[in-house]
Chain A
Amino acid sequence: MTRREALAWLAALGAVPLGCREFESSSVALRLANWGGAGDDSDYYRLVKQIYREFEAAHPGVILKVEGVPGSQEYVTKVLLDHVAGAMPDVMALDASSGAVFIDNGTLMDLAPFVEKDKAFSLGDYFPNVVDIARRDKAIYAIPTDFTPMVVYCNAAHFREAGVAVPTGRWSFDDFLSAAQRLTRQGRYGFEFANWMPGWVMFLWNNGSDVLSPDGSRATGILDGPRSVEAVQYLADLVLKHRVAPSLSQAAATGVDLFATGKASMKVVGHWYLASLAAFKDLDPHEIVVVELPTNLPQSVTVMYEAGQAISKNCRHPEVAWEFLKFWASQGVQSRYNQSGIAVCARKDVAEASLKGEPSKVAREEAFLRIVPSARSPWGASVEGYDRVEEFGQKAMDDILKNGVPVQAALSKAAAAIDKEFALR
């Protein structure tokens, strides 16, 4: 080795320690993690950024360091990995659908003591069953921001054309099928079905069944029980037998949103869909009517997908983090944040304030609010790893719809696989 080579080596080794970068300053840096929202909506970004700046202005010495992780699955993985490494962000946006894995592994701080102590904050301002999504007995792990029940969107013009009345209250599976049959015509489907389990699991519920046992511990006997088989057979028949919904490969082939382009008359989806429908010119917004899900029970039941803010257990500045949560969930901030129209505000005052303006819009918002009391929290809020259950469910549906596997066989296989995974937990 020549001297020059040796020097180069030393220089290389000496450079390494410079890589350490620790934050040491008098100001408080609060790390906020979220899933990045909708990247193609610049108004939303501008608003959120402005809200952050306002918080910093109101709390001198506090700097918000926002860590956006695009993609919901990537977001969960990334924050869990931060937890394993002992480097969770201070505040995280918590999606109800993946809430259990964070709450039940002790990654989050119980907010109940803050709620109790802080007279300026009242949980009574929020819809009670929305708050309960992140509750474990007396402990509360997230302050809800917004949520959406899943509903049926109807194209009222299509209904008029077919001479079918848009349902105003409870309607049964049979009513839904006959409406779909009468709505279906050349180039148009009565119902746009997608194999996305968060969008069809409610059909099991509305047939008096479920995916998991009430304690969330097993799927056999429930997911493959007779009433579940009946519900899934009903959905499969819509596609395969009655042909009122496109086959999955037909839907994939067109690659377009059928409802939004007037090629389907009904669709099961959440509040966020209203925000995206604005971009479609073929659809008259006045003709969009929101109704509850069809049911074979006395009262229709649906699911409520929700987002909130939580504080991590190893947060270095819990008091500041609580101030941020309070600020974020305040009426002033939420009434602006909610204008994006993605979801229903978790604050009752803000949600009710949205009931004004153009009549068809008010009717839709009212329909959502009417449904709130009958909405359940998603399984993912209480069962860790529920995303795997959904994967098995979707696979079963794929096998049924695309590869001709009988419903009972597909569901039994899925239920057994789910139980096997639960046993390993």
Chain B
Amino acid sequence: MLAILLMAPFVWMLLVSLHESRSSIPVLRDLWPKEAHWENYRFVLLHPDVPVFRFLLNSLVVAGAVVAGQLLVCSMAAYGFARLRFRGREFLFSLFLGSMMFAGTVTQIPTFLLVRQLHWLDTYWALIVPGIGSAFGVFLLRQFFLQIPLEIDEAARIDGAGEWKVYWKVILPMSRAALATLGAFAFIATWTDFFWPLIATSSQDMRTLEVGLSIFKNSYNGQNWPLQMTAAVVTLVPVLAVFLLLQRHFVKGVTIGSIK
């Protein structure tokens, strides 16, 4: 039952995407298309002027780099905040928290000007670098690291492990589920972001899937729901594939933790 409820948006998108291009939003009783218009997918995927696979590559490169960057940068900081004692710790942590509370819409203009000063506009750098640090990520991992009993790293330290080794060999392996969670969030946020890649890139070759495929939104007369949903499904499928491949990591934390 719950699974059906959770599946609903995806199923709805899929069904709408199979309706005839330019037709209106189907009501519930017409939701099942009389005939499946798979040509919508051919149209979107093989459009001669819309390099879908280039968009896909961009999205993969950008999301992959952001995930890798965030996992390393945030877990290091979270380890520092959760496990180590140092002067100004609470203050520094509150700075991270504070930065989250500031409305993102306002910082976009200065960030845009900054990225322009760095000559990063229309490059991967503009899409990746602003995303690799995340106060949200630091906070999330810190909270998970706090859950791990302190005795575990103390035992490792007594065995002569340095901080890097405790972080890399003890805490990280025990936090697979947490890391996978942050990775998933970072991946999803980067993958579905629209506004920043829209303003930070201008050439078609630098567009991500979300931005590149948004051209299917409009027809002469209002929105083209079926094509828009086709584009949404095309955007979504790679993400689901990544999740299917990596899903075992979401539960790994427990098993490894219990072996210790």
Contacts and interface: CB of A to CB of B under 8 A. Distances in A.
Chain A in direct contact with chain B (Cβ < 8 angstroms) = yes
Contacts of B214: 70-71
A14 to B, nearest CB: 14
Contact of B221 (A36, A70, A257): A257
Contact of A342 (B109, B119, B220): B220
A39 B215 contact: yes
B221 A31 contact: no
B136 interface: no
A214 B9 CA distance: 49
A81 B199 contact: yes
A281 to B, nearest CB: 11
Interface string A197-234: 00000000000000000000000000000000000000
Given A19-B123, A21-B122, A49-B49, A255 B27 contact: yes
A40 interface: yes
Nearest to A260: B221
Given A68-B204, A70-B218, A257 B24 contact: yes
Contacts of B112: 81, 85
B47 interface: yes
A65 B218 contact: no
B244 interface: no
Interface string B213-257: 011111111101001000000000000000000000000000000
Given A67-B203, A78-B198, A87-B121, A38 B220 contact: yes
A161 interface: no
A19 to B, nearest CB: 4
Interface in B90-115: 109, 112-113
Contacts of A257: 24, 221-222
A21 B119 contact: yes
B119 A19 contact: yes
Given A19-B125, A20-B119, A74-B198, A68 B24 contact: no
B83 interface: no
A66 B205 CA distance: 11
B193 to A, nearest CB: 14
A137 interface: no
Contact of A36 (B25, B43, B215): B215
B48 interface: yes
A255 B22 contact: no
Given A39-B215, A65-B203, A272 B24 contact: no
A275 B49 contact: no
A87 B214 CA distance: 23
B27 A273 contact: no
A273 B219 CA distance: 10
A273 B220 CA distance: 7
B75 to A, nearest CB: 15
B35 to A, nearest CB: 15
Interface string A250-269: 00001111000000000000
A42 B222 CA distance: 17
A45 B43 CA distance: 13
Contacts of B143: none
A279 B22 contact: yes
The 3 closest A-B pairs by CB, nearest first: A39-B215, A19-B125, A276-B221
Given A41-B220, A46-B49, A71-B214, 4 more contacts: A19-B120, A42-B47, A70-B218, A273-B221
16 contacts: A19-B125, A21-B123, A36-B215, A39-B219, A42-B43, A42-B47, A42-B48, A67-B204, A68-B215, A74-B198, A77-B199, A87-B121, A273-B220, A276-B219, A276-B221, A342-B220
